[in-house]
Amino acid sequence: MRRFHIDMRPLPLLFLREYRNALVLALLTALFLVFIHGDSPDPALSTEAYRAMVIFVLAVILWVSNLLPLAITSLLVLGLLAHFEVMAARQVYSFFGNSALFFILGAFIISAAVQASGLSKRIAVTVLRACGKEKYSLICGVFFLSAGLSHIMPEHAVAALMYPILRDILPLVETEKKSGPFQEYLFFSMAWGCIIGGVVTFLGGARNPLAIGILQEMSAADISMGRWIIAAAPPMYILGALVLLFFRLTLKDDAHSSIHIAALPPLPKIHFREIKAGVILSVTIALWVFGNARFGIANIALISASLFFVLNVLSWEEAKNEINWGIILMYGGAIALGTSLDRLGVLELMVDTHLSTLQLSPLLFIGAIAAISIILTDFVSNAAVIVILLPAAIRMAPGAGISPELATLSIAIPSGLAFMLPMSTPAMAIIYGSGKVNPARTLRYGLVLNTISWIFCVSAATWYWPRLGI
């Protein structure tokens, strides 16, 4: 006999539980309409710039709260930017032609080929066997691998390559709490490792060479790659050690700190398909490291992705099932929003108008520009932060009593430390889109990491970097 359960809770309570997201969205919509049709509080802001800021605030709330899927929020951003004439509709939708999106698309196809060929599973099993049977050791292995690779290739590429490896590791790991912190920490260790490792050398991201180029254009100063590594490595390695300490302390009291690795079958001999995937991947990494300036990271990714089809490593059926179109859509909206804030002068107004009016001591000046850099980089691309903030800082540096080189490091290194929001870097976009991390917790941890990173950068700029002659 079937038994029926009658929920006796009050009807209004049931209604609120069932439609709470819809009610919150209705409230947000009402507030948005009030503000979007309001007047700008700053006369220096145009109507378009003010509306871009209102849309930006709405997007951040939706991205963090996850009231809508991340990709849908980004598509909503595109529609709002065009509808409220923040920018011309043709220009708004043209941001989907941004090279960053095509890099991510190419990187997903490469990742699909690495997975379909069996190469990523071989790497996953090797990592599992090397790291032992503790949660912490596996997390450390993922962190060190991500951070180490980000020293010699762009962190975007490392995140795209590590993602399928993590996807192959998870089914092999059995824990009683499938949604517990362990799986979340695996993805954090990947993203945070990419971010921290990516600021140590010129190869981890385009922002570092870009900053040096601006420094050379605006002054007679320069920072070689060797000096950059010596300056960036110690504070970043200490930050990485703190991240690993955080993982250790938070997992210490976990009753299930040991993990059971599912029975691993012996690895088969490497077959020809796997060899082809490994060769193409190796050439791609080499081009990313040594030929990025000449060929472009997105061009390399797309050509490499095509080779997997040409050499019969991957079929389209296999590829389309592995491409995360949600991340691509989300990143497209984020780029459109960030670029609109940039081109409409919102960020330039924040820097040139408000910062230039302050009379600051060297310590306060360094603290201010590092804080602005580390805040902005969570909302827009780090390259945009460099372009907007660095020229003004270099101009103001002599008056604040610091060298242009010190101003450059105080902006360029914090600009790469984006731990909070999905639009900050593809590494964060990937873990948000994976569905394996809690957005609110990611934001909270990211805020703590951003604060610690700011303290480290200001401390290094005050006591360490000047001793290097910077």
Instruction: Write out the H or E segment, with its range, that includes residue 260.
Output: strand 260-261
In DSSP terms, 134 is beta-bridged to: 258
The runs of H, that is alpha helices, within 354-417 are: 362-376, 382-400, 404-415
Q: What's the mean pLDDT in 314-339?
A: 78
Measured between alpha carbons, how far is 451 from 435 in angstroms, rounded to an integer?
25
> What pLDDT sits at residue 34?
92
Q: Which band of pLDDT confidence, cut at 50, 70 and 90, is reported for residue 292?
A: low
- Residue 260 phi/psi, 5-degree rounding, is -100, 115
**% of the chain with per-residue pLDDT over 70:** 84
In DSSP terms, 261 is beta-bridged to: 173
- Reply yes or no on whether the pLDDT at 302 is more than 50: yes
Q: Which of 208-212, 269-273, 402-406 has the lowest mean pLDDT?
A: 208-212
Please report how many Cα atoms fall inside a 13 Å half-sphere around the Cα of residue 299, on the Cβ side: 7
Measured between alpha carbons, how far is 470 from 465 in angstroms, rounded to an integer?
6
Instruction: Write the DSSP assignment of 412-429 as a string of letters.
Output: HHHHT---S-TTS-HHHH
> What pLDDT sits at residue 465?
92
- Reply yes or no on whether the pLDDT at 27 is more than 50: yes
Contacts of 470 (CB under 8 A, 6+ apart): 223, 227, 231, 403, 405, 406, 409
Q: Which of 19-28, 97-106, 433-442 has the lowest mean pLDDT?
A: 97-106
- Residue 154 structure tokens: 């762009």
Q: What's the mean pLDDT in 407-418?
A: 91
> What pLDDT sits at residue 454?
95
In this predicted model, what pLDDT tens digit does every residue of 231-274 receive, in sequence order? 999 999 999 999 999 888 887 665 345 666 655 566 778 889 88
Measured between alpha carbons, how far is 237 from 235 in angstroms, rounded to an integer?
6
In this predicted model, what pLDDT tens digit does every residue of 115-124 receive, in sequence order? 788 887 777 6
Q: What's the mean pLDDT in 302-322?
A: 88
> Which pTM value belongs to this model?
0.65
| Residues shown for the chain | 470
Q: What's the mean pLDDT in 179-205?
A: 84
CA 344 to chain centroid, in Å, comes to: 24
- On whether the CB atoms of residues 422 and 77 are closer than 8 A, the answer is no
Q: Would you tell me the crossing angle of helices 70-83 and 325-343 to the nearest 10 degrees?
A: 40
Q: What's the mean pLDDT in 374-392?
A: 77
Q: Would you say the C-alpha torsion 41, 338, 82, 330 has a positive or negative sign?
A: negative
Higher pLDDT, 131 or 363: 363
Residue with tokens 């929003």: 337
> What pLDDT sits at residue 255?
39
Average pLDDT of every residue of the chain: 80
Q: What's the mean pLDDT in 367-395?
A: 81
- Reply yes or no on whether the pLDDT at 128 is more than 80: no
- Reply yes or no on whether the pLDDT at 200 is more than 60: yes
- On whether the CB atoms of residues 420 and 447 are closer than 8 A, the answer is yes
- On whether the CB atoms of residues 48 and 85 are closer than 8 A, the answer is yes
Higher pLDDT, 446 or 392: 446
> What pLDDT sits at residue 176?
47
